Amino acid sequence: MSERLFIITGSSRGIGKALTHAFALSNHFTSANTHFILTSTKQSDLDAAKASLEQVFASHHGNTDKLKVYTHPIDFSDMNSVETNLKTLFGLAHKTGGWKQVILVMNHGSLGGLEFIEDVSSNITQVCQPKCLIGANLDPFSIRVGGERTDPSVALCRCFSV
């Protein structure tokens, strides 16, 4: 049980991408075999993020022998596919014998509309439904602005159903 697994959402740009590099540059976190599962909305972006991570890892450690990077795209604003996609995501790096450490980073997000509350097109106070189901159902954690509407602006609210 010496290997580590990092799962990072929104990992193809911005803070998420930089964080993959920061973990790769940490001697503490790369002391044994290091596995990354990267997700963001587009596979092409993930391919680039993977290549970038491998390059940073190799520049610091000399090679990528102890690095394994898995990718799987998820659109957290699509309520219908999140659950299935998370199952796939978590299954990518299945390991018998267990991990030393698993670090999950909920980084994905969006700014949403830069609007005054009275201009937000739905009733926030009525329909905000933060759900957090630990060890029970698999419903993704979500806030719905506008009932069942899957507004891209609330994509930030979706995270792992922990």
Partner 1 sequence: MALKTFAGKAESVDFVNISSLAAVKPFASWGVYCIGKAARDMLIQVIGAEVETVTSLSHGSTIRALNYAPGPVDTDMQAEIRKNASIPEQRQFYTMMFETGKLVTPDATTAKLVRILEQGKYENGAHIDYYDDVE
Which whole-number Å values give the CA distances from 120 to 58, 151, 157, in the listed order? 47, 12, 16
Burial of residue 162 (number of CB atoms within 10 Å: 0-12, 13-18, 19+): exposed
Stretch that binds partner 1, among 17-25, 36-44, 58-66, 68-76 (CB under 8 A): 17-25
Cα–Cα distance for residue pair 55/66, rounded to 1 Å: 13
Name residues contacting partner 1, limited to 95-114 (CB under 8 A). Answer: 95, 98-107, 109-114
Q: How many CB atoms lie within 10 A of CB 12?
A: 26
Q: Which is nearer to partner 1, 58 or 102 (CB)?
A: 102
CB of 116 to partner 1, least distance (A): 5
133: Cβ–Cβ under 8 A, 6 or more apart, which residues? 139, 141, 161
157: Cβ–Cβ under 8 A, 6 or more apart, which residues? 130, 141, 142, 143
3-state secondary structure of 162: coil
Name residues contacting partner 1, limited to 32-91 (CB under 8 A). Answer: 83, 86-87, 90
CB of 153 to partner 1, least distance (A): 6
Residue type, 43: Q
- The binder of partner 1 chosen from 15, 58, 79, 92 (CB under 8 A): 15
- Examine residue 124 and tell whether it contacts partner 1 (CB under 8 A): yes
CB of 65 to partner 1, least distance (A): 22
Instruction: Name the residues that contact partner 1, by CB under 8 A.
Output: 1, 5, 7, 10, 13-19, 21-23, 26, 28-29, 83, 86-87, 90, 95, 98-107, 109-117, 120, 124, 128, 130, 132, 134-135, 138, 141, 143, 145, 153-154, 156-157, 159-162
